[in-house]
A and B are shown apart, each in its own frame.
Chain A
Amino acid sequence: MILALAGNQNSGKTTLFNQLTGSNQHVGNFPGVTVEQKSGEIRGRKDLVVVDLPGIYSMRPYSSEEIVTRDFLIKNKPDGIINIVDATNIQRNLYLTLQLIELGRPMVLALNMMDEVRANGGTIDVNALSAELGIPVVPIAAAKREGLDELVERAVLTAGEKRTPKRLDFCSGAIHRAIHAITHLVEDHAERLGIPPRFAATKLVEGDAPMAEALGLNNNERDTIEHTVSEMESELGLDRNAALADMRYRFIEGVCAKTVTKQRESVAHLRSIRIDNILTHKYLAIPVFLSVMLLVFWLTFGVIGMPLSDLMSEGIDRFTRFADTVLTGYGLNAVFKSLLLDGVFAGVGSVLSFLPIIVTLFFFLSIMEDSGYMARVAFVMDKLLRKIGLSGRSFVPMLIGFGCTVPAVMATRTLSSERDRKMTILLTPFMSCSAKLPIYAVFTAAFFKEFQALVMIGLYIIGILVGIICGLVLKNSTHRGKPIPFVMELPNYRFPSVKSVLLLMWDKAKDFIVRAFTVIFVATIIIWFLESFNYQFNFIEDSEYSLLGTLGRAISPIFAPLGFGDWRAATALITGFTAKEAVVSTLAVLTGTSVAGLGDALGTMFTPLSAFSFLVFTLLYTPCVAAVAAIKREMNSALATAGIVLAQCGIAWVAAMLIYQAGRLLIR
């Protein structure tokens, strides 16, 4: 039996889903879109699968989330719907309920956060509400696991006996007449196609063109519908969309007047207002936000993540050395030994050392998201990002990009619009990640001793500027499409549930590990192969004569207009694909010095100008393979990902070339 879980955002849907399924969750994508589909078996009930549909406010198909939900409910015909409703915000939540009821599927209403309603001295007459809506209503408190057994029982009963909602009609007067007339008109079409007739009729009243298309209505029928609707409009003095929304909310107000007694302002709400007096305060909001992000960065990269990462790389190093001794003792073939140690261990090891950072960062991010603070960040930062066609929601992923592109790209998952998500993914890599710092450090120390900090800040600013320019270009070209309206709920602050936070961390860690052993694994093996073999496929120790060196030589002329046509620079850039830190170590190997002595060696390869051009190139060109793998996962398309990688290299080339050529003119 399949049960679909539908409800508003911030209604506690994810909490309920996690409580029902525990860790028996499967994450996938809905077909064709990058909207995440989560499903799982209810604990102890292997036969019961719950599908967590995206949080939506209405069934109007404007965002990909709404389309996904609507399509899933109509096409997949789940055995039952569990509609979760936030009882502390019941009016707006019931708006979706009325639309879900129109689908005519067996449905149970889970009235969540009843504990809060009671704590505030309020009551909701559950039986009366159930009678008014014609569907079973079960009061629950998802976070406290209250009422969940009864909810499952009622859902199974309702779905098992195919008890469809007892009433579909929530309207009177002109709308009632219009919907009825249209229901009669399209009933046959709708039933033949398996679309609920009542739902189809309401959509037609709304003027939903795809629905008219799907039903295959002829011109005659369309004219009749338009005529009916315009009669309704003139009788009500409201246009079709306003009329329907008005009708639903009027009905809801009536139901609430009969069933809900609200005694005092909710504690959670009052607390939220007080917290917001600081967090969205006119002058304090931005400093507080920046402090929060600094704290998160410091804790992630400084206190928790980095030491753990170092510990992990240390462990991997030790294990590698140990394996080296064992394998040498065993007398393993040198090629295989190199494959294992230099390819597999080094490659996957260096990627795995990201893991603690990712897990720690997502720990903080999920707290920010679940507590309701992320919505405030979007509220505070919206004006800045609007100029490049994004909304405030994209700010946090971009900021994380300064730490590491991988979790930044993964964090775009929280953006509700697919367009915004893709655009944010495209722009995030331009935020200079922390792995590029060693490159900047070595080069600025060698060439710009006096202005080291200035050059570094300059690089960050160039990254941001290029991001802005690309944002403007995207906004006016491929991503022109209407941005999703910025109409966003600011939910009450809540304590994040430990379970949700842990599950999210586990999810992200699993996701990353799987990729580390697939895409990233293959990429590191390829680089190892190129590094270790020459043309005749002989295994060599000196990478100067390796395939990689040859490749570096072959592509080095491309970089001549950028001021660094040296094959060693080109080769280092190729290895930078595995991890940006590798640029420095490769340069050290190829120039035959240590990283410490690299500064002098670089002095013979670069001029200050070409060094700066090289830095700009490393800043902008394609991020490491781990980031590319993350991008591919979120874009759900290998082709688009390849396009992004090429575009990034192209942008980096043009920017570095412009800087180098302009610099040459100036210096001359």
Chain B
Amino acid sequence: MTLDKLKTGKNAGIITVGGDGALRCRLLDMGLTPGTAVMIRKIAPMGDPIELYLRGYELSIRLEDAQKIEVEELD
């Protein structure tokens, strides 16, 4: 499934980061690499963007970008 479908508070492992160009590189640079454990901490009040927890810090990305990240639920 893709990251935007993950329920808040659930852990998942990243399989692939899709998309292209600057955005994809930025996601990879921020540590969203294959195998990384990630959790959705929160969804912004207007429903977008979302707040992720990974590698010990919080990162916010937009839903449309989360759609490009393939994950598998861990718990």
Residues in chain A within 8 A of chain B (CB atoms): 57-58, 60, 62, 88-92, 95, 238, 241-242, 245-246, 249, 269, 272-273, 276, 280-283, 285-286, 375, 378-380, 382-384, 386, 482, 484-491
Residues from chain B with Cβ under 8 Å of A379 in the complex: 44, 49, 51, 60
Which of B26, B36, B58 lies in contact with A485, CB distance below 8 A? Answer: B26
Q: Tell me what chain A mostly uses at the interface: helix, strand, loop, or mixed.
A: helix
CA distance A484 to B36 in the complex (A): 24
A487 touches B65 (CB 8 A): yes
A246 touches B22 (CB 8 A): no
List, sorted by A's number, 28 A–B pairs whose CB atoms are closer than 8 Å: A58-B25, A60-B29, A90-B56, A91-B55, A91-B56, A241-B28, A242-B28, A245-B29, A245-B33, A249-B36, A269-B56, A280-B45, A285-B44, A379-B49, A379-B51, A382-B48, A383-B47, A383-B49, A482-B22, A485-B26, A486-B61, A486-B65, A487-B27, A487-B30, A488-B61, A489-B58, A489-B60, A490-B60
Residues from chain A with Cβ under 8 Å of B31 in the complex: 91-92, 95, 249
Taking A245-B28, A383-B49 as contacts, is the C-beta distance between A62 and B22 under 8 angstroms? Answer: yes
B59 touches A482 (CB 8 A): no
Q: Which residue of chain A lies nearest to B47 when distances are taken between CB atoms in the complex? A: A383
Taking A92-B55, A382-B62, A487-B23 as contacts, is the C-beta distance between A242 and B33 under 8 angstroms? Answer: yes
Taking A280-B45, A383-B44 as contacts, is the C-beta distance between A241 and B23 under 8 angstroms? Answer: no
CA distance A145 to B32 in the complex (A): 33
Q: 16 new A-B pairs (CB below 8 Å) besides A60-B26, A92-B30, A92-B57?
A: A91-B55, A92-B31, A242-B16, A249-B33, A280-B45, A283-B45, A286-B45, A378-B60, A379-B44, A379-B49, A382-B62, A386-B62, A485-B22, A486-B65, A487-B61, A487-B65
Residues from chain B with Cβ under 8 Å of A285 in the complex: 44-45
Residues from chain A with Cβ under 8 Å of B46 in the complex: 380, 382-384
CA distance A241 to B17 in the complex (A): 10
Taking A241-B25, A485-B23 as contacts, is the C-beta distance between A282 and B45 under 8 angstroms? Answer: yes
Q: How far is the CB of A97 from chain B (nearest CB, A)?
A: 13
Question: When each residue 4-34 of chain B gets 1 if its CB lies under 8 Å from chain A and 0 otherwise, what string results?
Answer: 0000000000001100011111111111011
A490 touches B51 (CB 8 A): yes
Q: How many interface residues does chain B have, given as a range?
A: 35 or more
Residues from chain B with Cβ under 8 Å of A386 in the complex: 62
Residues from chain A with Cβ under 8 Å of B21 in the complex: 482
Q: How far is the CB of A2 from chain B (nearest CB, A)?
A: 27
Which of A62, A246, A286, A489 lies in contact with B33, CB distance below 8 A? Answer: A246
CA distance A286 to B43 in the complex (A): 14
CA distance A252 to B38 in the complex (A): 17
B47 touches A485 (CB 8 A): no
CA distance A625 to B4 in the complex (A): 47
Q: How far is the CB of A379 from chain B (nearest CB, A)?
A: 5
Residues from chain A with Cβ under 8 Å of B57 in the complex: 89, 92, 489, 491
CA distance A249 to B41 in the complex (A): 22
Interface residues in B52-75 by Cβ distance below 8 A to A read 55-62, 65
Select the residue from A92, A285, A382, A487 with max chain B CB neighbours within 10 A.
Answer: A487
Taking A92-B31, A382-B62 as contacts, is the C-beta distance between A487 and B45 under 8 angstroms? Answer: no
Which of B17, B30, B36, B51 lies in contact with A280, CB distance below 8 A? Answer: B51
Taking A92-B30, A379-B60 as contacts, is the C-beta distance between A241 and B24 under 8 angstroms? Answer: yes
Q: How far is the CB of B32 from chain A (nearest CB, A)?
A: 8
Q: How far is the CB of A431 from chain B (nearest CB, A)?
A: 21
Q: Which residue of chain A lies nearest to B57 when distances are taken between CB atoms in the complex? A: A89
Q: How far is the CB of A113 from chain B (nearest CB, A)?
A: 13
B55 touches A276 (CB 8 A): no
B51 touches A383 (CB 8 A): no
A490 touches B65 (CB 8 A): no
Residues from chain A with Cβ under 8 Å of B42 in the complex: 276, 280
